Amino acid sequence: MAEAHVKRAYKYRFYPTGAQAAELSRTFGCVRKVYNMALAARTEARTRQERVNYNATSAMLTAWKKTEELAYLNEVSSVPLQQCLRHLQAAFTNLFGKRARYPRFKSRKKSRASAEYTTSGFRYRDGELTLAKMTEPLDIVWSRPLPEGAAPSTVTVSQDAAGRWFVSFLVEDPTVEPLSATDTAIGIDVGLDHLLTLSTGEKVANPRYGRRDRVRLARAQRELSRKAKGSANRVKARLKVAPVHARITDRRRDHLHKLTTRLVRENQTLVIEDLTVRNMVRNRKLARAISDASWAEFRGMLEYKAAWYGREVIAVDRFFPSSRLCSDCGTLQTKMPLHVRTWTCDCGVTHDRDVNAAKNLLAAGLAVSACGAGVRPQRRTPGGQSAVKQEPQRATVGIPRL
């Protein structure tokens, strides 16, 4: 039986010519227009209790192209237009499956400018990529090679807020294979003073990339706020703010990639806490620091890399009292304010708050792995709760001690 390879995206920066940039900008605009029109049509149909699927919106697109008002849709490749309708269909499928909220309209200023091409919309030969409606290949900076013999199934072209152009190849990567199984397991407690605290006692410093560039960002944002809306100077000022945000994002993502790759390679089982970051950032005092730590992105990277390499990620329920439970004797403390970083249990053992929490998470995760019960019930966070970790007054029983 043939081995199934992992589908992986390889992203590169490229520098388009003036004609290519104009063509891509037109394509982005048409993709956004078609998506919004199709979403409006499907929304209106829902009010009449009618179902509109991808085939219906595809027929609508054909009719739109024949009108004088929307004739400009014929000037760009039809492939990304059809792909945006498929993306809309996927969004409604996720909505009906209760995996996502209702799709939102794409904004010209806030939405990501991108277009996806399938194999009929591009030509990739000898390391050169030529898109439909273009005569010259893209000037791509090949920072790393594609897997040998890999043929892209889709190509996505995008432009970020800083004006940088990127192309992403989706290929089947034969180099991603499950790693040799090990008997190592680790508990991971995320935080703000330290980005991660491991059950081994290791603490990973929080680089705080947002704080490093805060002065530079504030200066650029002040200049932007003084420009009149709609003016050319405001556009120039915005292009000075965007690179600062891009620099912060790139450095943070690079750090998280290196960190998650190391953790996945070294450990067979990784236990984390099931935090609702979306609710936690409602705390105005901690929102900036939590966003800068990017806990949600860390978890996402950890989970998909674990799936690639045959590792297991266990999420312990957020209400499990990891900080207040003694990892040595199992005694549960009544209170544990955030400013308490070390504490001594009645049994005489002195704990570092974060290391103790990581050890308890590991023990709880191993209990889940062994019996699949007890520590991660499906519970919703009540409205108006504090952004700190929610810990109940009762500890979960039957958790093995380390």
What is the per-residue pLDDT across 194-223, written as a single tens digit (0 to 9) for each?
Answer: 999 999 999 999 999 988 888 899 999 999
Q: CA-CA distances (angstroms) from residue 160 to 11, 109, 114, 206?
A: 13, 11, 9, 26
What is the distance between the alpha carbons of residues 88 and 72, in angstroms, rounded to a whole number?
Answer: 21
Lowest-pLDDT range, 114-123, 139-148, 355-364, 390-399? 390-399
What pLDDT, on the 0 to 100 scale, is given for residue 369? 74
Classify residue 141 by its DSSP letter: E
pLDDT digits (tens, 9 = 90+) for 286-307: 888 888 899 999 999 999 999 9
Going by pLDDT thresholds of 50, 70 and 90, the confidence category of residue 110 is: confident
**Identity of the residue numbered 23:** E
Q: How many helices (H) and strands (E) does the chain have?
A: 10, 14
Going by pLDDT thresholds of 50, 70 and 90, the confidence category of residue 334 is: confident
| 309 phi, psi to nearest 5 deg | -100, 15
| SS3 call for 131 | strand
Q: What is the mean pLDDT of residues 362-388?
A: 55
Domain with CATH 3.30.420 in the chain: 185-207+253-371
Catalytic (active site) residue 173: no
Alpha helices in 66-147 (DSSP H): 78-96
What is the distance between the alpha carbons of residues 96 and 276, in angstroms, rounded to a whole number?
Answer: 22
CA 296 to chain centre: 7
**Identity of the residue numbered 182:** T
| SS3 call for 168 | strand
* Residue 381 confidence (pLDDT) above 90: no
Contact present, 307 and 318 (Cβ < 8 Å): no
Q: CA-CA distances (angstroms) from residue 195 to 155, 295, 323?
A: 34, 9, 16
| Range 185-207+253-371: architecture per CATH | 2-Layer Sandwich (3.30)
Going by pLDDT thresholds of 50, 70 and 90, the confidence category of residue 4 is: low
Contact present, 270 and 165 (Cβ < 8 Å): no
* Candidates 116, 273, 292, 391; catalytic one: 273
* Candidates 116, 189, 292, 391; catalytic one: 189
Angle between helices 18-47 and 54-65 (to 10 degrees): 120
Strand residue runs (E) in 280-394: 312-317, 342-344, 350-352
What pLDDT, on the 0 to 100 scale, is given for residue 353? 86
**Identity of the residue numbered 402:** L
* Residue 376 confidence (pLDDT) above 60: no
* Candidates 23, 292, 354, 391; catalytic one: 354
* Residue 384 confidence (pLDDT) above 60: no
Count CB atoms within 10 A of the CB of residue 302. 21
Catalytic (active site) residue 354: yes
What pLDDT, on the 0 to 100 scale, is given for residue 3? 53
* Residue 241 confidence (pLDDT) above 60: yes
What pLDDT, on the 0 to 100 scale, is given for residue 379? 37
| 191 phi, psi to nearest 5 deg | -160, -170
Burial class (CB in 10 A: 0-12, 13-18, 19+), 285: exposed
Catalytic (active site) residue 292: no
Q: What is the pTM for the complete model shown? A: 0.80
**Identity of the residue numbered 329:** C
What is the distance between the alpha carbons of residues 78 and 98, in angstroms, rounded to a whole number?
Answer: 31
Contact present, 285 and 388 (Cβ < 8 Å): no
